[in-house]
Structure 1
Amino acid sequence: MIRFEKVTKTYANEDALHNLDLSISAGELFVLVGPSGSGKTTLLKMINRLVVPTSGKVTIDDENVADMNLEELRRHTGYVLQAGALFPNMTVEQNAAIQLEALGWPEPKRHARILELLKRVDLAPELFLQRKPSELSGGEAQRVGIVRALASNPNLVLMDEPFSALDPLSKRQLQALVLELHRELKTTFVFVTHDMREAIRLADRLAVIHNGELQQLGKPADILADPANEFVRDFFDDPVARQRFLKQVIDSGFGRSISVDDQYVALKGSDTIFQWAALVQQTATQNIRVGNRLLEPVDLIDYMATLK
């Protein structure tokens, strides 16, 4: 568990973060999302003490980060930056094994671990072990960065806009890789992005940050279906995405009041029209309840007819 308690960070009399409270559960893929300059990277860097709060505190498993041994904290935290941040004079294997060497792993054990992880991120060891960063594409360099972050089996991995400089195909491939690795390893990932689509795709939960303050916290579907304020609504301004949620169906005027004789399956506003359609496919006359409104199969047909 990572907890931010009343955290403020001030630079030159201006708050980058202001009195922010936030908790991240162990094993989550947690995404901090917001526009450039919102404070999300500052928040991330407080976890491994690259940034120190002006006031408030950050704890990991109830231990104040300020009281932890800094070297041990960073050695046991994976960290992936933009563009890989690889040392240009070192080979892929040397770059990937930096933390393992610092932790005192013997060379044969380091070598075996890097071989294992390179295969896992689809980089053939026989082709990539001895390459230098200048011989890698952007996507390949980021895969090496991920290997380096995971090499020591950390309980926590921090990722600071790692895919922002990549082409769309490489970005999608690496997003899929992060999801796979998170499912397999069940490690806590904290991921920073300014890309709302990336945040929606990756997050178990996400926190929307703006002007150093928390705007909304929750599951992507809940935030898309029910944005907390105008900023969140505008930031996630994707009408096509929102049209799939049942809240949007209700907000569009469909449904009727519930009577005592109605039979229905209860769904949430953050459930989707596809879940609704699956119920209707099973039982053609199936009604659903969303809040205090009843939706009938004919409403699904009529709503679908309005979509572009």
Structure 2
Amino acid sequence: MIEFKNVTKTYETEDALKELTLTINDGELFVLVGPSGSGKTTLLKMINRLAVPTSGEVSIDGQNVAEMDLENLRRHTGYVLQTGALFPNMTVEQNAGIQLEALGWEATKRHQRIVELMKRVDLDPELFLKRLPSELSGGESQRIGIVRALASNPKLILMDEPFSALDPLSKRQLQELILHLHAELATTFVFVTHDMREAIRLADRLAVIHNGELQQLGSAKEILSAPANDFVREFFDDDSIRRQFMQTVVAAGLGQPITLVKTDRLATDVIVSGDVVKMAASDTIFSWAALVKQHPQQVVQVEETLLKPADLIAYLAQAKEAK
């Protein structure tokens, strides 16, 4: 668990953060979102002491970060920057394994770990391990940055706007990769972005930061349904965001209602042939799409409506026409 207690950061006469308090739970994919200059990156950097509070306290699992051994803290925290930040004169394997080398892993063990992680991020080790960073695309560089961050199996991964410079397709692919890795690993991710759509798609919970102050903390559904103030309302005032949720699919009239059978005492759902996966109205269409990718014939239930994969295609077509 990461705790920020009354944290203030002052640069000369200006406060980048002002008396900010929040808690990040173990295992969360937690997103810090807000406009450029809001203080979110400063907050992230305080976790591994790249920035130090002027006042207040940052703690990990109850221990004040200021009292931790700095080298040990950073070696056991994965960190992904806005670009891959790879050393240009080192191969992909050397870049990916640099933290493992610092931790004293022997060469064979390092190689095995990097090969394993390259496969997890969908890069063929035989094709990529000997390449130099100049031979990689932006998306490939970021995948190597993710491998490097995961190499030592840290409990904590920090990501500072890692996809902001990528094209939309690469960004979407890497967002899907992060969701998959987070679901697979028992690891806390703290992710910074100024992209509200990215925040909505990724976050278990998110914190909206503006002018160094916490504006609102909660799930995407909580923030969209009940914005705390005018800033939050205006920041997320985008109909394309609302169209990402299952409740909007149902509201669009897609799917079929579940037929109810009357009994003497109550109405019960008719059993539908095959397994039906229940999804919440607050789930996103991305979760639905991921399910359909794994199970192309899967039927889902949202409240009292059954949705088939064809409904997803129809909904996406409607959404495209509405743009």
Q: Secondary structure at the match of 2:178?
A: helix
Distance 1:153 1:275, change over 3 A: farther
Q: Secondary structure at the match of 1:153?
A: coil
Q: 5+ residue gaps in structure 2?
A: 263-302, 304-321
Deviations 1:240-265 (A, max 9, x none): 4347889xxxxxxxxxxxxxxxxxxx
Q: Distance in 2 between matches of 1:203 and 1:38?
A: 18
Deviations 1:76-129 (A, max 9, x none): 000000111000000000000011001001110000000000011011011100
Q: Which residue does 2:132 correspond to in 1?
A: 132
Structure 1 letter corresponding to 2:47: I
Residues 1:13 and 2:13 aligned together: yes
Q: Distance in 2 between matches of 1:24 and 1:279?
A: 39
Distance 1:80 1:69, change over 3 A: same
Q: Which residue does 1:38 correspond to in 2?
A: 38
Structure 2 letter corresponding to 1:239: D
Deviations 1:38-64 (A, max 9, x none): 000000000000000000000000000
Q: Which residue does 2:220 correspond to in 1?
A: 220
1:159/1:191 contact within 8 Å kept: yes
Runs of 4+ aligned residues of structure 1 deviating over 2 Å after TM superposition are 239-246, 270-285
Shift of 1:226: 1.3
Q: Distance in 1 between matches of 2:122 and 2:141?
A: 12
Q: Secondary structure at the match of 1:166?
A: coil
Q: Which residue does 1:241 correspond to in 2?
A: 241
Shift of 1:140: 0.2
Superposed counterparts of 1:1-308, under 5 Å: 1-242=1-242, 273=250, 280-283=257-260
Q: Secondary structure at the match of 1:143?
A: helix
2:197/2:241 contact within 8 Å kept: no
Q: Distance in 2 between matches of 1:245 and 1:178?
A: 19
Q: Distance in 1 between matches of 2:177 and 2:127?
A: 20
Shift of 1:279: 9.2
Structure 1 letter corresponding to 2:150: L
1:44/1:192 contact within 8 Å kept: yes
Q: Distance in 2 between matches of 1:113 and 1:68?
A: 27
Q: Distance in 1 between matches of 2:19 and 2:257?
A: 47
Distance 1:83 1:244, change over 3 A: closer
1:199/1:206 contact within 8 Å kept: yes
Shift of 1:284: 9.7
Distance 1:273 1:214, change over 3 A: farther
Deviations 1:111-155 (A, max 9, x none): 000000001101101110010000000000000000000000000
2:3/2:21 contact within 8 Å kept: yes
Deviations 1:3-43 (A, max 9, x none): 00000000011100000001000000000000000000000
Q: Secondary structure at the match of 1:180?
A: helix
User: Percent identity at matched positions?
Assistant: 73
Q: Distance in 2 between matches of 1:14 and 1:170?
A: 36
1:225/1:242 contact within 8 Å kept: no
Shift of 1:163: 0.2
Deviations 1:171-207 (A, max 9, x none): 0000000000000002000000000000000000000
Q: Secondary structure at the match of 2:258?
A: helix
Q: 5+ residue gaps in structure 1?
A: 247-269, 289-306
Q: Distance in 1 between matches of 2:154 and 2:174?
A: 19
Structure 2 letter corresponding to 1:39: G
Structure 2 letter corresponding to 1:14: E
* Cα RMSD (Å): 2.4
Q: Distance in 1 between matches of 2:204 and 2:143?
A: 22
Deviations 1:196-227 (A, max 9, x none): 00000000000000000000000011111111
Q: Distance in 2 between matches of 1:103 and 1:207?
A: 33
Shift of 1:281: 3.0
- TM-score norm. by structure 2 comes to 0.78
Structure 2 letter corresponding to 1:217: L
Distance 1:50 1:276, change over 3 A: farther
